[in-house]
Structure 1
Amino acid sequence: MLSIFGRWYKRKFSDPDATMLLILILITSAVLVVWGNMLMPVIVAAIIAYLLDWPVSQLTRLGMKRTLSCSLVLICFVSIMVLLMVGLVPVVTKQSMSLVQELPNIWQKAQDWLLTLPDKYPEYVQFPQIYEMMEGANQHLVDFGQEALTASFSSIASVAALLIYLILVPLMVFFMLKDKPYFTDSISRLLPRERRLITQVGNEMNVQIANYIRGKVIEIIIVGAVSCITFAIMDLRYSLLLGVLVGLSVLIPYIGAAVVTIPVAVVAMFQWGITPEFWYLMVAYGIIQALDGNLLVPILFSEAVSLHPLYIIVAVLFFGGLWGFWGVFFAIPLATLVKAVVSAWSSSPEVPAEP
C-alpha cells in the first residue's frame, strides 16, 4: 500500500512546479481559514475591483488616463450604490416589516386549513397528527423569534464594522484599480521560479473569476428587475421585496430558486387562495426561472468552465458552510479552481514509475 502511494507521489509531485502549486494552495487556505474574517474588507475590495476593472480598462484603451478612469468609474459605482440604498432599501425594509407583522395571520390561516384536512381525508389524516404537527411548528417559530431578536441586538456591534467597510473599501478599490500593474508585478516577484502550473492556474482563474462576478451581478439585476415588474403588474403584495429575493436567489444555483419559491407561493396563496390568479403568478414565476436557467445563464456564462450540477451543489454546501455568504457567492469559481488545479496536476510531466 505504501509503495502504491509512493509511486503516485513521485508521479504527481516530483515536478517542482506541482510542488510549488500545492504549497501555495496550502498557505493560501491556511491564511483564509485563520485570518479570513480579519481580511474580509480586503476580499470585498478585491471583488469590487474585479467587477470594475473591465470599464476602467475600456476607458484606458480609449485614451483616458488610468487615474482619471478609475476615479470616474468608482464615482459612478458609489453613486449607484447610494441611489440603491436611498431608493430601494427603505421600501424593501418597510415591506419586510409589514410581512413580518402579517406572518401570524398567515400562520393562523394555514392552521385553519390544516384542521379541515381530517374532515376531507379522514382515511389519511387524523386530528392528533395535525395537532402534534402544529405544536411542533409553533415551538420552532418561538425559537426562531428568540434567535432573531438575539441576532438583532448583537448586530448593533457591527455598526463600526459597517463604517469601516464604507470608508476603507472604496479607498482600497481605488488603489487596486489605479495601481493594478504595480500589485501584479509585486505578486509576481514573490512567487517562486518554479511557477509554470501556478501561472497556468492563475491565468485561467483570473478570467473565470472576473467573468463570473460580472455575469452574476448582471444576472441578479436582470432577474430581480423582471421579477419586481412581473409581480407589480400582477398586483402581488410585497412585490419589491419578493422580486429582490428572487434576484438574490441566483447566488445559490438550483437551491436558491427552490427556496425562494416558498415565500412567493405563500404570499400569493394568502392573498388570492387557490384561484386562477395564484396559478397565473406561479406560471409567470416558472417562466422567469426557466428563461434564467436556459437563456440568461448560457449567455452570461458562456466562457465559464462547465461543471456538473452535482459538483456545483456540493461546492455551494461546502464553501457556504466554510465562509458563509461569500463562500456561496464564490462556490462556482472555487469549484472551477479545484478543477483547474486537478487539470494542471494531470497535465504536469510524470516521472516513469520504477520497474
Structure 2
Amino acid sequence: MFNLVRNWYREKFSDPQAVTLAVILLVGFAVIYFYGSLIMPLLVAVVFAYMLESPVGWMTRQGIPRTLSASLVLVLFAGLMLVATFGLLPALWRQGVALATELPSMVSQWQNLIMTLPEQYPTLIDEHQLASLMANFNNSLLSTGQNLVSQSLSSLVDLVALMVYAILVPLLMFFFLKDKDELMSSFGRFIPDNRDLAKQVWGEMNVQIGNYIRGKVIEILIIGTASYLTFFFMDLRYAALLGALVGLSVLIPYIGATVVTVPVALVGFFQWGISPEFGYLMLAYGIIQAIDGNVLVPLLFSEAVNLHPVAIIVAVLIFGGLWGFWGVFFAIPLATLVKAVVNAWPSHQPVADTE
C-alpha cells in the first residue's frame, strides 16, 4: 500500500509546476472557506468588477483613459442599481406581502380539494391517512413560517453590514477596474516562479469566469423580463414577483427551474382552476424554459457549460453547501475550474520501484 501511494505521489507531483498549482488552489480554498465572511465585500467587488470589465476595456480601446472609463461605467452601473432599488423592489415587496397574506387561503383551498379524493377513489386513498398527512403538512408549514419570521427579525441587525457594503464595494470596484494591471502585477509577486501551469489554468478560467458572470446577468434579465411580460399580458396575479423569481431561478441550473414552477403553477391554478387559461400559462412557461435551455444557455455560455448535467448538479450541491448563494452562483465556473485543472495536470509514468 505504501509503495502504491508513493508511486501515485511521484506520478502526480513530480513536476514543480503541479506542486505550485496545488499550493495555490489549496491556499485559495482555505482563505475563502475560513475567512470568506470577513472578505465578503472584497469578493462581491471582484464579481461586479468582472461583470463591468468588458465595457471598461472597450472604452479603453477607443482611446478613453482607463480612469475615466472606470468612472463612467461605475456611475452608470450605480444609476441602474438605484433605479432597480427604488423602482422595482417596492413593487416586488408589495406583491410578496400580498401573496403571503393570501397564501393561507390558497393552502386551505388546496387542502379542501385534496380531501375530496377519498370520496372519488375510496379503494386507493384512505381518508384517515390523508388527514394525518395534511396535519403534518400544516405543522411543517407553521414551523417554516415561524423560522422565516425569526430570520427576518434577526436580519435587521445586518442593516449596518449592508451600509458598509454600500460604501466599500463601489470603492473596491473602482480601484479594481482602474488599477487592474497594477494589482495583477503586484499579486503575481507572491506566487512562486514555477507557475507556468498555474498561469495556463488561470488564463483559461479568467476568460470563462468573466464571460459566465456577464452571461448569467444577461440571462437573468432576458428570462425575467420575458416571464414578466408573458404573465402581465396573460393577466396573471403577482406577475412582477413571479417574473423576478423565474429570472433568478436560472442561477441554479435544472433545480431552480423545477422549484420555481411550483409558485407559478399554484398562482395560476388558484386564479383560474383547471381551465384553458391555466393550460396556456403552463404552455407559455414551458416555452420560456425551453428557449432558455436550448437557445440562451448555449448562445451565452458555449464552452462554459460543456459539462454533464450530473456534474453541474453535484457542483451546485457541493459549492452551494460550502458557500451558500455565491457557491451556487459560481457552481459552473468552479466545476469548469476542476475540469481545467484535471485536464492540464501533468501526468507521468509511475517511477519503477527498484528497492
- In the superposition, the TM-score normalised over structure 1's length comes to 0.98
* Match of residue 189 from structure 1: 189
What amino acid is the match of 2:302?
Answer: S
Say yes or no: does 1:12 pair with 2:12: yes
- The C-alpha deviation readout for 1:162-196, integer Å capped at 9, x for no partner, is 00111110000000000001001011221110001
3-state SS in 2 of match to 1:241: helix
- The C-alpha deviation readout for 1:126-171, integer Å capped at 9, x for no partner, is 2102210110011001101110111011001100010011111000
3-state SS in 2 of match to 1:190: coil
3-state SS in 1 of match to 2:253: coil
* Match of residue 160 from structure 1: 160
Residues 115, 127 of structure 1: 8 Å contact kept: yes
Residues 224, 247 of structure 2: 8 Å contact kept: yes
Residues 14, 351 of structure 1: 8 Å contact kept: no
CA distance in 2, matches of 1:123, 1:200: 66
Residues 17, 197 of structure 1: 8 Å contact kept: yes
CA distance in 2, matches of 1:59, 1:187: 25
- Distance of aligned partners of 1:349 and 1:136 in 2 relative to their CA distance in 1, 3 Å threshold: closer
3-state SS in 1 of match to 2:321: helix
What amino acid is the match of 1:178?
Answer: K
3-state SS in 2 of match to 1:301: helix
CA distance in 2, matches of 1:59, 1:30: 36
What amino acid is the match of 1:353?
Answer: V
* Match of residue 306 from structure 2: 306
* Match of residue 265 from structure 1: 265
Larger displacement relative to structure 2 (226-235 or 334-343) = 334-343
CA distance in 1, matches of 2:303, 2:310: 20
CA distance in 2, matches of 1:299, 1:27: 34
> Which structure 1 segments of 5+ residues have no match?
none
CA distance in 2, matches of 1:95, 1:272: 18
CA distance in 2, matches of 1:27, 1:290: 40
CA distance in 1, matches of 2:177, 2:71: 9
* Match of residue 254 from structure 2: 254
3-state SS in 2 of match to 1:132: helix
* Match of residue 32 from structure 2: 32
Shift of 1:349: 5.5
Q: Percent identity?
A: 55
CA distance in 2, matches of 1:194, 1:319: 29
Shift of 1:304: 1.8
* Match of residue 205 from structure 1: 205
Shift of 1:2: 1.7
Larger displacement relative to structure 2 (3-12 or 215-224) = 3-12
Residues 304, 332 of structure 2: 8 Å contact kept: no
* Match of residue 319 from structure 1: 319
Aligned length: 353
Alignment map for 1:64-143 (pairs within 5 Å): 64-143=64-143
Shift of 1:353: 2.1
> Which structure 2 segments of 5+ residues have no match?
none
Shift of 1:115: 1.3
* Match of residue 329 from structure 1: 329
- Distance of aligned partners of 1:352 and 1:139 in 2 relative to their CA distance in 1, 3 Å threshold: closer
What amino acid is the match of 1:354?
Answer: A
